[in-house]
């Protein structure tokens, strides 16, 4: 009686614990690491009960595969299960709770080669044992996933299985869920919760790829395991054991989890977010299910938290767009749209080994772009202020490093080459060059107006060669007849406005558009391709024309500054309008095609609602500048200095600091999402 009461208590505690753990929205939110329970003192209750001889004896009787009076024997032969069950020692110890099971550990009754092999015994809880689908899958587990003859390092060796239990090797170590939870808590304590941990992503990502390669190899090389098909189907952190001996990932619990298919009632739990949608809906074709789980686990490794809504988190688009592109190619809800970009072989087959090469190539690209940094933070608050001191947002150097890394990887057949690398680098460098030239000219002419010598040896050399100690050759001949230098009173409005545009315009281009192109959609998308060409054109215009307008005012005629300011603002409005139209069109087309990598609602796309407000505000400002500027140029208004000060302060504070400096990074997230979605739209059949 004591033994049966103890087993009943273990069963009730297991059911309660299973429901409690599946009620948490995030795996990282679950307390009680290292297998400790949430609902009770596991060591003081479960550990004590399992150690009792009476309870161990009842477990042996209740779960025995030998036929008993009143029990109908299954049709399948049970000799292996009976043999292995008879060989285990009845002295058991409690290990941990599973979602539908208790996991015990023990050793064989007799020594093998002088040692007693340790085993893990997974006991399916009542009433789950009464579900025929689950009982059949458990009984056939050893036949389907037994890998004792394959020499697999990453698949746990299964000894035997029966309707209500699975006997396998005991692997000393912790689950990946516990390891990641501990690291996440440490990151939060150290203030690194919003950082991408590229070092951790590389380390754990490689271990995961190695395990999946092994799984794929076993399915390919072992005809006896043809039913395995190289698919885990329930690849989640709780089903990966980090070996204490060598740190390798060991995969356990292969096959569908029937909680997700609602064969078993109850909450599915947070870890269902790692399982592919086709597995959760019970579809028969799940050959690409592990690609989805792989993407979700890589997100977990880098960001320290899972993606519960099935889309890549914003932090990747902010700091590592190339990794976002790779992850989007894995986590699409439609299996046919996984590996649209990083295809590894003829459809529908794919190779985890070749996919690993693509992953490492993209990771190397990101680290090269960030000068080898392993922790990519999203700077907020006062930390973000220092970005205001970088007018070009560091993009020319980033594009240069990306170009060099692409050149280095071009010899590798597995490297997925980025599109338009040379094109984007050229425009980024051109924007940086014209920024340098424009600001140099604007400052030089301001100093000339003030009749100050600032020790510019190059200017002095040019003046010496031209035999003109006051002027500059060639460029001074471009001046209109009424344009005098020095004359700071007459030229000050043009200098103020010109210098503010020379600072704000490159910041606008480099923050929003540098390194991105709408042309990734290709030439077969109809109206979207034509809209992409228009958007690309206005983007590249914004790299050059605003600064060219400043140079025209500085070198030729300062009276043009009100008109050129209006032209610049109209171009800004047109750039915002076309970019937003392209973003909305691509997002709409993505949703029509069913691409799950794009959030279902515009409000969930970071930066898009804010960018939508840029169009009317830039239109209002363009109309105001055009109206007042025209009146000033025609001398219908005479408050030149007041208007020039207003335009200058607007350019510096509103556009440079607020819109581009503070709001620009989030708006860029929406544009990056758009360009990545456009590439996938272009690849969809």
DSSP string, 382-411: GGGGGGGG-TTTTHHHHHHHHHHHHHHHTT
Q: Residue 473 pLDDT > 50, yes or no?
A: yes
Q: What is the mean pLDDT of residues 377-383?
A: 64
Task: Give the domain-ending residue among 378, 408, 427.
Answer: 378
Lowest mean pLDDT, pick from 70-84, 157-171, 288-302, 571-585 = 70-84
pLDDT at 28: 43
**Model confidence at 421, in pLDDT bands (50, 70, 90)?**
confident
Residue 301: both structure tokens together:
């490794």
Task: Give the domain-ending residue among 137, 170, 203.
Answer: 170
Q: What is the mean pLDDT of residues 485-505?
A: 89
Q: Residue 533 pLDDT > 50, yes or no?
A: yes
**What are the angstrom distances between the C-alpha of 634 and each of 562, 640, 642?**
10, 12, 17
pLDDT at 264: 58
Q: Residue 74 pLDDT > 60, yes or no?
A: no
From the number of C-beta atoms within 10 Å of its C-beta (0-12, 13-18, 19+), residue 515 rates as buried
Same domain, 122 and 206: no
Cis-peptide into 127, omega within 30 deg: yes
Same domain, 144 and 97: yes
Same domain, 563 and 645: yes
Same domain, 434 and 570: yes
pLDDT at 38: 80
Same domain, 276 and 255: yes
Task: Give the domain-ending residue among 346, 378, 410.
Answer: 378
- List pLDDT tens digits, range 297-351: 999 999 888 887 889 999 999 989 999 999 999 999 999 999 999 987 776 678 9
Residues of the chain with pLDDT > 70, as a percent, come to 86
Instruction: Residue 213: give its domain's CATH number.
Output: 1.10.510.10
Residue 573: both structure tokens together:
């409005």
Same domain, 363 and 412: no
Q: What is the mean pLDDT of residues 220-246?
A: 79
Q: Residue 595 pLDDT > 90, yes or no?
A: yes
What is the bridge-based pairing of β-strands 118-124 and 101-107? antiparallel
Domain count, the chain: 3
Same domain, 29 and 50: yes
Angle CA 109–111–112, to nearest 5: 125
**What are the angstrom distances between the C-alpha of 679 and each of 313, 521, 588?**
18, 5, 14
Residue 539: both structure tokens together:
């983007």
pLDDT at 418: 54
- List pLDDT tens digits, range 34-46: 556 788 888 899 9
- List pLDDT tens digits, range 628-678: 999 988 888 888 889 999 999 999 998 998 888 888 889 999 999 999 999
Q: What is the mean pLDDT of residues 485-504?
A: 88
Round to whole Å and give the CA distance between 379 and 381: 7
Same domain, 145 and 221: no
Q: Residue 295 pLDDT > 90, yes or no?
A: yes
Whether the CB-CB separation of 251 and 240 falls below 8 Å is answered with yes
Which residues form the domain of 39? Answer: 1-170
Same domain, 371 and 402: no
Considering only CA atoms, which of 89, 321, 83, 356 is closest in space to residue 210? 356
Angle CA 145–332–275, to nearest 5: 35
Same domain, 221 and 300: yes
pLDDT at 381: 53
Same domain, 132 and 227: no
- 3-state secondary structure labels for all residues of 17-40: HHHHHCCCCCHHHCCCCCCCCCCC
> Coil, helix or strand for 482?
coil
Same domain, 298 and 404: no
């Amino acid at each position: 009686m004591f033994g049966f009461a103890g087993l009943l208590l273990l069963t009730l505690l297991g059911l309660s614990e299973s429901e409690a753990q599946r009620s948490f929205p995030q795996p990282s939110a679950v307390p009680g690491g290292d297998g400790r329970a949430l609902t009770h003192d596991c060591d003081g209750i479960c550990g004590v009960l399992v150690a009792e001889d009476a309870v161990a004896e009842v477990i042996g009787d209740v779960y025995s595969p030998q036929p008993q009076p009143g029990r109908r024997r299954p049709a399948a032969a049970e000799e292996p299960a009976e043999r292995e069950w008879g060989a285990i020692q009845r002295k058991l110890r409690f290990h941990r709770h599973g979602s539908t099971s208790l996991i015990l550990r023990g050793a064989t009754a007799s020594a093998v080669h002088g040692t007693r092999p340790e085993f893990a015994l997974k006991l399916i809880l009542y009433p789950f044992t009464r579900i025929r689908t689950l009982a059949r899958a458990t009984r056939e587990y050893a036949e389907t996933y037994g890998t004792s003859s394959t020499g697999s390092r990453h698949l746990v060796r299964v000894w035997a299985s029966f309707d209500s239990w699975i006997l396998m090797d005991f692997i000393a170590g912790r689950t990946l869920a516990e390891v990641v939870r501990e690291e996440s808590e440490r990151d939060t304590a150290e203030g690194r919760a919003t950082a991408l941990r590229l070092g951790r992503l590389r380390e754990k990502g490689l271990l995961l790829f190695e395990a999946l390669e092994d799984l794929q190899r076993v399915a390919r090389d072992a005809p006896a395991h043809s039913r395995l098909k190289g698919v885990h189907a329930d690849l989640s952190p709780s089903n990966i054991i980090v070996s204490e001996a060598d740190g390798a990932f060991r995969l356990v619990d292969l096959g569908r989890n029937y909680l997700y298919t609602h064969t078993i009632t109850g909450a599915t739990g947070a870890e269902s977010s790692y399982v592919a949608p086709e597995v959760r809906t019970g579809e028969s074709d799940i050959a690409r299910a592990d690609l989805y789980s792989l993407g979700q686990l890589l997100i977990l490794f880098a960001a320290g938290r899972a993606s519960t809504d099935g889309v890549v988190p914003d932090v990747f688009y902010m700091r590592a767009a190339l990794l976002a592109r790779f992850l989007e190619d894995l986590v699409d809800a439609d299996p046919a749209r996984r590996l649209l970009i990083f295809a590894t072989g003829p459809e529908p087959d794919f190779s985890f080994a070749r996919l690993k090469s693509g992953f490492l190539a993209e990771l190397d690209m990101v680290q090269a772009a960030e000068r080898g940094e392993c922790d990519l933070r999203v700077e907020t608050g006062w930390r973000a202020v220092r970005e205001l001191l970088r007018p070009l947002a560091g993009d020319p150097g980033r594009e240069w490093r990306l170009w060099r890394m692409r050149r280095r990887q071009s010899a590798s057949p597995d490297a997925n080459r980025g599109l338009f690398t040379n094109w984007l680098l050229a425009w980024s460098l051109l924007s940086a060059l014209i920024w340098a030239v424009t600001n140099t000219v604007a400052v030089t002419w301001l100093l000339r107006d003030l009749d100050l010598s600032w020790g510019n040896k190059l200017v002095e050399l040019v003046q010496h060669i031209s035999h003109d100690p006051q002027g500059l050759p060639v460029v001074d001949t471009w001046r209109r007849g009424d344009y005098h230098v020095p004359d700071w009173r007459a030229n000050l409005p043009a200098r103020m406005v010109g210098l503010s545009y020379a600072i704000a315009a490159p910041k606008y281009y480099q923050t929003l558009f540098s390194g991105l192109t709408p042309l990734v959609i290709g030439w077969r998308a109809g109206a979207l391709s034509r809209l992409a060409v228009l958007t690309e054109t206005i983007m590249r215009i914004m790299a050059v024309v605003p600064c060219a307008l400043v140079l025209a005012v500085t070198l030729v005629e300062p009276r043009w500054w009100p008109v050129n300011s209006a032209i610049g603002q109209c171009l800004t409005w047109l750039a915002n309008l076309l970019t937003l139209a392209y973003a909305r069109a691509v997002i709409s087309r993505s949703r029509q095609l069913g691409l799950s990598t794009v959030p279902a609602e515009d409000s969930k796309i970071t930066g898009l609602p804010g960018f939508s407000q840029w169009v009317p505000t830039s239109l209002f400002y363009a109309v105001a500048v055009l109206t007042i500027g025209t009146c000033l140029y025609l001398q219908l208004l005479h408050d030149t200095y007041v208007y020039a000060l207003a335009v200058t302060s607007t350019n510096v504070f509103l556009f440079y600091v607020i819109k581009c400096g503070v709001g620009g990074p989030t708006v860029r997230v929406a544009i990056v999402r758009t360009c990545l979605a456009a590439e996938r739209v272009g690849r969809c059949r």
